[in-house]
Amino acid sequence: MPNHQPPLTLPEADRAAAAPPPLAAWRAQFPVLSQQIHGHALAYLDNAATTHMPLAVMEAMRRFETHERANIHRGVHTLSQRATDAFEQARATLKRFIGADAGHELVFTSGTTESLNLVAQGLWGAGPGQAWLRPGDRIISTGLEHHANLVPWQHAARMSGAELVVLRPDAQGRLQQDALAALLTPRTRVLAITASANATGERPPYEAMLAMARQAGALTVLDAAQAVGHGMPALSALACDFMAFSGHKMYGPMGIGVLAGRRDALERLHPLRLGGDMVEDVSYERAIYAALPARLEGGTPNVAGAVGLAAAATFIDRIGRAAIDGHLHALRAQAVAGLSALPGVTVLAPHATQAALVSFVADQVHPHDIGTLLDERGIAVRTGHHCAQPLHDHFGLGPTTRASFALYNSAEEVERLIAAVARALEMLR
């Protein structure tokens, strides 16, 4: 069996040291970082949108493409078997990474958006009499969600005749358990909630909320896109029926992601992609769908992406999620302190100390202008609504500026961010 994970050579002494983190060794894994942008060292602070890939991930994908590439599940020839093994080994690695147990299955998708669409459409797609969602049922989503965990539910409600109810955050952007309790009814069939809000960094009490919804008889959906690379509980410890995430936000490739969940819940989903690889038996008149996970993986999958995603999971675990999180929380605390001290700057959700990002607004200054001036200094941040427009409306805010951190970011980069924002505000006011 080929080894898909080249060794990550961190000196033992560095690994043992709790503080400071061995940043130089971590950064050396990410060649993209050692470039100049507009004459300045790149400070890449757009990690909530997409993180970069370490050499270990690229090497795993290069090896697959060089030695094993073939279509999976169909061939008797050696390469096809190697590719199938690589794909299934990636599935097993990722199941371990998220803490799945024997009652769970893991399906590869193109990313969080496809995973959430697969759930939302799968729950009404079987049609009248068969579907989980029926007229008069209730779907609950929350006011913190990325559009990917809201728009598919709007569509599911329209198609099934169910109603969509949004659990509103309070004025600080927090979700309250008693507010959820007030929305749960015997007809509540779904709760779809984020594990970490990409626009503010808010971490809702999702463990308790998933449990409350399951207790009420609903299927529970967790958007883990911003959480899976961090200190999340094991899937087996959560009352979670479906969990979605993307490779490119956890040091893995783009175009690959996961829908994991309880087997019996996944079996309820009508497949989104019908065709080859997802059928057991086909005649001109009808098809018998295959068992999980193939049933939900119609068509040729992104095998190299799956291999790369598994390598990213291994990379994260070799460094350690606790070590990464400690570093990220320290960077966020430093950024919140520095930015809040600037005149006319308001940080969103300042209480969210477990966040790996910071979003802020500045009086009289448009975020796009801040973002453009930061880019001139080599600092990459994101400006806009971050695909969470209703949350910004809830706050009565327009677009914001968001800096988001990954394990390779440094305190020095955060200092540069704060100084560059201060300078931008002086120039723009």
Catalytic residues: 387
Q: Is residue 157 a contact residue for ligand PMP (CB under 6 A)?
A: no
Taking residues 19 to 58 in sequence order and writing x for each that binds ligand PMP by CB under 6 A, - otherwise, the string is -----------------------------xx---------
Q: Is residue 316 a contact residue for ligand PMP (CB under 6 A)?
A: no
Q: Note whether 223 and 193 are within 8 A (CB).
A: yes
How far apart are CB 215 and ligand PMP at their closest, in Å?
Answer: 25
Q: Is residue 302 a contact residue for ligand PMP (CB under 6 A)?
A: no
How far apart are CB 180 and ligand PMP at their closest, in Å?
Answer: 19
Q: Are strands 382-384 and 104-109 parallel, antiparallel or unpaired?
A: unpaired
367 preceded by a cis bond (ω within 30 of 0): no
First CA to last CA across the chain, in angstroms? 61
How far apart are CB 45 and ligand PMP at their closest, in Å?
Answer: 15
How far apart are CB 423 and ligand PMP at their closest, in Å?
Answer: 28
Q: What are phi and psi of 306, to 5 degrees?
A: -65, -40
d(CA 156, CA 150) in angstroms, rounded, equals 10
Segment (H or E) for 80: helix 78-98
Q: Which stretch binds ligand PMP (CB under 6 A): 107-115, 270-278, 286-294, 335-343?
A: 107-115
**Range 75-104, binding ligand PMP (CB under 6 A):** none
Q: Which stretch binds ligand PMP (CB under 6 A): 145-153, 177-185, 351-359, 396-404?
A: 145-153
Segment (H or E) for 108: strand 104-109
Q: Which stretch binds ligand PMP (CB under 6 A): 97-105, 143-151, 168-176, 181-189?
A: 143-151
Query: What is the distance, to the nearest Å, from the Cα of residue 26 to the centroid of all Cα atoms in its chain?
Result: 21
Q: Is residue 198 a contact residue for ligand PMP (CB under 6 A)?
A: yes
Q: Is residue 226 a contact residue for ligand PMP (CB under 6 A)?
A: yes
Sole residue written with tokens 């024997």: 102
- The number of beta carbons lying within 10 Å of the beta carbon of residue 66 is 8
d(CA 270, CA 295) in angstroms, rounded, equals 9
Give the footprint of ligand PMP on this chain (CB under 6 A): 48-49, 111-113, 146, 148-149, 194, 198, 223, 225-226, 246, 387
